[in-house]
Structure 1
């Protein structure tokens, strides 16, 4: 795989995937709404709010696969959850569709 995108890369699971998937793709694009550590070798770091459709469409350009871990996993106001989890996931799938990304892995918990 040439380029793999991991959303929610600043979270606990995202950090584990960041380390565990080194070597799986030529480049790993790491994204989170919060600032992250600088990019290492063969990494790209992109700060992105998944509720921003235009930003997400840009984020998914030139990507071969996506691991979607981004979202709010704790109790929060419904409007915040709606934007982060529902709109954000929709935007990611729409960006993938528009940019021809063929593989998405979506992880969720409740």
Structure 2
């Protein structure tokens, strides 16, 4: 028998950070962009992620004719820079360099 628990959105809000002022992102025009297509730039990305307090990730994938899907593109942003990672070209290297993030 399964127990059903009713949860609301407020159950997932951390009330201990209520005194923190949200920081607005810088304008898009002032945020640099880097295309990551080789291991050298992937290493630079990993180093920047180590120093970043926060980051955001978006994955694009294709599941056509596949049950598992295939990640085709990874977008990573930190406060000062955006990265587009070619996951097809770097499919073997991504795990070793970005696994800890």
Give the TM-score band, short-chain normalised. 0.3 to 0.5
More helix by share: 1
TM-score scaled to structure 2, two decimals?
0.34
Rg larger for: 2
TM-score scaled to structure 1, two decimals?
0.32
